[in-house]
Structure 1
Amino acid sequence: MIGQLSRHWWVLLVRGAVAVLFGVLALFWPGITVWALTVLFGAYALVDGVFSLAGAFQGVPGQSRAWLAVAGICGILLGLMAFAWPGATALVLLMLIAAWAVVTGVLEIVGAVRMRRTIDDAWLFGVSGAVSVVFGVLLFVWPASGALAVVWLIGLFAIVTGAMMIGAAFRLRRLGERAGAHRVGRQYG
């Protein structure tokens, strides 16, 4: 399984980079309209969903990839919904983002639990999932908070999650390189 994951480490890197870019845009462009935030969120959720779904189809045969497929489908559906209704109110967008964060966070935690025996740092996926769930719950609990605070929370969440994905991607790449070097050593040793 490590070989398959490490060959596609760049998918996690792209997902992380898109999340960081989305977060930076949200932080440094706080006066954006609900429409612009909807489009940015829709684009992020759609790209993240496509890469998650691609990862589910490229996984290791015999290993459960359902959690990744469900996360991908949820991301794609939420992205499409955000594009279909760009005039949605801030509350509706906030509830969509909160629901998406909770669902994907739970699925990331499930994935981390399943990968804990295969990947030493699977806990990073679990932490990312826990951060996502906490973020989603906070948005559900305080929906009337100021728009600027919500934009900053979304930006910070995306940057933290993206940074964790980028770190995990490079860790997967290193694991793949070590596994490849180990195989070469056994082959010629």
Structure 2
Amino acid sequence: MATSTGGRPEQSWSAPAADQVPTGKLPSTSDPIEALSAGLAENWWAIALRGVLGIAFGILAFAAPVAVMLSLALLFAAYCLIDGVLAIVAAVRAARTRERWWLLLLEGVLNLLMAAIAFVFPAGAVLAFVLVTAAWAILSGATMLGAAFRLAVGAGRWWLVLGGIVSMVFGVLLVLAPLAGAIVLTWWLGAYAIVFGGVMLILAFRLRRRRHDTPAVPAGATG
């Protein structure tokens, strides 16, 4: 311990060592983008799990489309059941304050009725979904055709016409063969799940590489 010129003891000191970042840990940063990247890299396994589940669902949709369709119908029924109960609860609470509660009650009852139908006849729920999709495709195609003939030929009129015709043909085919249409829609959903899962896996392993390639700050560094 050194002494000062005034006779008072002077404590010795040394520069604090720099914080060491353990291998595999990303250093803290004030940049929000880097902070988000660091958080994702630390939890890369969760993103990888999403990818695996997505690919597994996609493979199942291709291998057993009917089972997947019925499962989605039952999931929709469960959603309608929960939503209907919550709507009825909201209606009861609104009735206590003399607000317009009967619309909420009607919505809740309709949701419960839809849930019961979907639970008892899941195939009917799938069929209804296919027919709604068909109606959307036909109406969408018709509006595209109507807009196409208001478009200049040089601006791509015939491409819009082609798009409208394809949409309408797709809708008509769904109406003529709803079961086949439901299977095709399930396959499309499976294809999306596989592509999405693959992208999530690629992202997860890139984040994992970033996490492990981050160099550690050496201990004992002085200013």
- TM bracket (short chain): 0.3 to 0.5
Task: Report which of the two structures shows the higher radius of gyration computed on alpha carbons.
Answer: 2
Q: What TM-score comes out, normalization by structure 2 length?
A: 0.38
TM-score for the superposition, normalised by structure 1: 0.44
Q: Flag the structure with higher helix content.
A: 1
